[in-house]
Amino acid sequence: MRVICHGGAGGVPDEPEPRQAVLDDAAETGADESTVVDAVVSAVEVLEESPRFNAGYGGAVQSDGVVRTDAGIMTEEREAGAVASMPGVANAAAVARVVMEETPHVFVSGVHAVDLADDFGVEVERELLTDDGRDDYEDADPPAHDGGPQAHLEWLEEKFGGHDTVGAVAHDPGADTFAACTSTGGRTFALAGRVGDVPQIGSGFFCAPAGGASATGAGEDIAKATLTRRAVRHLEDGLDAQAAADRAIAEFGELTGSSAGVIVLDGAGAGSAYNSEGMQTSVATDE
């Protein structure tokens, strides 16, 4: 099993070493699993449980002071599942897997996704906002909770931003199977209920027989450019994982003028590229 993980594209973190240690643990945890779906979900769960990353516990807070999580997962057989806008659910990747494996759908959102998580044994009603996140939100003079969306939009006009997320791609060379998974808390101070690229197939994640990809960055622009589908298409056209990642990010930058990162895995190896200030990754192989 080979697994590559990312911890989000954005600025250079103040403490990169502890973040890298968590990423390494995530990749190794995934590589120890026996199936690619287990591998990516297990790897992402390690990152969702760490407040050092914008996913699960420690995810970005929205304009109403609530952290809502999104995730998506896909296999090379184009089986897929996604969830969005879930308050109180840290392990969003596990819920996306429930959608993929237990329902006839590919996308479930909001409180109904939370109910689905609860029914299938994924922990709900967790506090996802860290003390630091709460302090940052309160220091930003948030809008009144009884204010409407227009009031929230006026407040966030100069505050909305930030972009990172977590993801993993796995390949089992014995079975020649792939899976890709991405999870996030969204972008800081987004409008309550905002959903970005992460749970959208072909944007935040994509997988095909040629390989898989997971993206991170400015979600609105990633969705418009379908970044992960673009990267996997390059694999299908014969590029290796690193060349596919490089070309996808170059095209993304030309199309949008925005910043993002992508990890890519094919049958021969892993690749990653970004045009932001930084993006930490980790690769592990269980020989």
Are 251 and 219 in contact by the 8 Å Cβ rule? The answer is no
Are 22 and 50 in contact by the 8 Å Cβ rule? The answer is yes
CA distances from 85 to 141, 191, 232, 258, 272 (A): 23, 11, 27, 24, 28
User: Which residue is associated with the tokens 């991405």?
Assistant: 182
Q: How far apart are the first and last CA of the chain?
A: 7
CA 261-192-55 angle, 5° bins:
40
Q: Considering 165, 177, 216, 256, which one is annotated as catalytic? A: 165
Are 205 and 72 in contact by the 8 Å Cβ rule? The answer is yes
Are 11 and 164 in contact by the 8 Å Cβ rule? The answer is no
Alpha-carbon distance of 97 to 172, in angstroms, equals: 18
- Phi, psi angle pair for 83, to nearest 5°: -140, 155
261-128-88-165 Cα dihedral, nearest 10 degrees: 0
| 165 is a catalytic site residue | yes
Alpha-carbon distance of 95 to 36, in angstroms, equals: 16
- DSSP H helices in the chain: 16-31, 36-48, 92-102, 110-119, 131-139, 149-156, 219-225, 227-236, 241-256
What are the catalytic residues? Answer: 165
